[in-house]
Amino acid sequence: MEDSTSASDLMDNGKGPWKDFSLNLTCAGGDTGTSTRMFVVFSDAQNPANRSTTLSLSKDSVAKNVGIEIQRENERLVNFGPESGEVNQWMVGEFANEPVNIKLKARYISTSLVQEPTPGSANADATFVISYK
């Protein structure tokens, strides 16, 4: 996802505009005529202990005092969690052998009430783990 949010947008509003993205999955396997509940958890690759709603910028980022929020289709923010376990995991839905499209949005946010965001590249990496129950 590419974005050109300006530092002044973040200084004025504290938040940039939402940008749509999605995870498109093909679910296969299982018994014909049955469905399985799908769960997902997102983890902050830069800070695996992060349990907040703000994704940390990667070390190669130039911007400072900036983070990224991810929003689910129901307008709830994603809380980051560990790559295993159920902390901050959420149910996507119940599916059979079919394509699944997880619709999400992301935006830059200011992470400091005291220091202004500084311009520059603002990259981040999140991993996601899908589990079925």
> What are 1-60's pLDDT values in tens digits?
555 666 566 656 789 999 999 999 987 777 788 888 999 999 999 999 999 999 999 999
Average pLDDT, the chain: 90
Which pLDDT score, from 0 to 100, does residue 4 have?
Answer: 62
Which pLDDT score, from 0 to 100, does residue 108 have?
Answer: 95
- Asked if residue 107 lies in contact with residue 10, where contact means CB atoms within 8 angstroms, the answer is no
What percent of the chain has pLDDT above 90?
68
Rounded average pLDDT over 82-103? 92
> In which element (H, E) is residue 19 found?
strand 19-26
**3-state secondary structure (DSSP) of residue 10:** helix
Domains and CATH numbers, the chain: 7-132 (2.60.40.1090)
As a whole number of Å, the end-to-end CA separation of the chain is: 30
Is the whole-model pTM more than 0.85?
Answer: yes
Helices (H), the chain: 7-13
